[in-house]
A = this chain, B = another copy of it.
Amino acid sequence: MALGEFGLIERFFKRPARRAVVGVGDDCAVWQPGAGMQLAISTDMLVEGRHFFPDVDPFSLGHKALAVNLSDLAACGATPAAFTLALALPTVDEAWLAEFARGLLTLADAHACELIGGDTTQGPLNLCITVLGEVPAGLALLRSGAKAGDEVYVSGTLGDARLALLALQGQLRLPDNALALARQRLEQPTPRVALGLALRGVASSAIDLSDGLVGDLGHILKASGCGATLNTQALSQLMLMGSSASAAPTLALSSDQALTAVLNGGDDYELLFTAPATSREAVMQAALKSATRVTRIGQMDAQHGLRLVDAQGKPVTGEFASFNHFA
């Protein structure tokens, strides 16, 4: 590995190797996979101005850069093991780097996920993390396993990150306490690692919600060759700030705006997953075991495309009625 001009990985990020056979400081890290384990691998690149604001708190940025990768492991049902960090920095700001490292390593420690290598260089601010997880052979959760009749679930809350983004961009006003909550969701998302592990052998498919519910569910529909019907009443309960339908007036949101945030928000880093209708109890046990809120929001259909229905099962018309581009 090239440590770049600054040796910053060694200075700010290196710790004694734990499970790694060889950690930071050689051409390669060396890792001994656990017996019977397959490796789950994911990479994400975060760019200033696109994935975060130039003035973002560096602790939060360190957290988020790893969180979005751990979220991919969670969606796969993999246990976090190790990661590499590549950083392009315009200048070396030691206070900024120390806080960034603290945010990154605090989350890494919480998941016993070891930094095993990296690269630093000068350039426009860019963070690229590649994460390795372990999953017993054959048990990885995939996007492709959903079947017609399976039920659709989502963890946690959706849409809050979107509201924070709109508020920070000046497109929406939020009360201070609501903004603080929403901003926490945007800047320090919680990867649902424990839930992903608890769903091994229970969920038929899973994906993490990075781009928004509609888009990411579309990936499951495509990979599984199914359609889906979602219940807008269940969806309307998904925003952090209480029932979004009832909170919407307080937030100066129409219920359509709230539903849009839930359906298309992005940056939620929750798990969307499916399970057979006969597995409701097992899903609830997984939620309990991982202390993670899980909401059933609909079911998979043999008919392609995505449909929305109200509490009475009647099709919702208007701007949410048609998602046939996922057919």
Among B38, B41, B88, B210, point to the contact of A132 (Cβ < 8 A).
Answer: B41
Q: Are A142 and B22 in contact (CB under 8 A)?
A: yes
Q: Are B38 and A31 in contact (CB under 8 A)?
A: yes
A27 within 8 A of B: yes
Assuming the A-B contacts A2-B210, A2-B211, A123-B126, are A30 and B25 also in contact, with contact meaning beta carbons closer than 8 angstroms in the complex?
no
Q: Are A43 and B118 in contact (CB under 8 A)?
A: yes
Q: Are B88 and A47 in contact (CB under 8 A)?
A: yes
A72 within 8 A of B: yes
Assuming the A-B contacts A122-B50, A123-B50, are A31 and B39 also in contact, with contact meaning beta carbons closer than 8 angstroms in the complex?
yes
Q: Oligomeric state, in number of copies?
A: 2
Against B, the Cβ 8 Å flags (1 = close, 0 = not) of A46-85 are 1111110000000000000000100011011010001011
- Quote the shortest CB–CB distance from A74 to chain B (angstroms): 8
A229 within 8 A of B: no
Against B, the Cβ 8 Å flags (1 = close, 0 = not) of A196-233 are 00000000001110110000000000010000000000
Q: Which residues of A contact B (CB under 8 A)?
A: 1-2, 21-22, 25-33, 38-51, 68, 72-73, 75-76, 78, 82, 84-88, 116-124, 126, 128, 130, 132-133, 135, 137, 140, 142-144, 206-208, 210-211, 223
Name 29 A/B residue pairs within 8 A (Cβ), A-sorted.
A2-B44, A2-B211, A25-B223, A26-B143, A27-B72, A27-B73, A27-B75, A27-B76, A27-B207, A28-B40, A28-B41, A28-B73, A28-B133, A28-B140, A29-B40, A30-B40, A30-B76, A41-B82, A43-B128, A43-B130, A44-B119, A45-B87, A45-B126, A45-B128, A46-B121, A47-B124, A84-B130, A86-B130, A128-B128
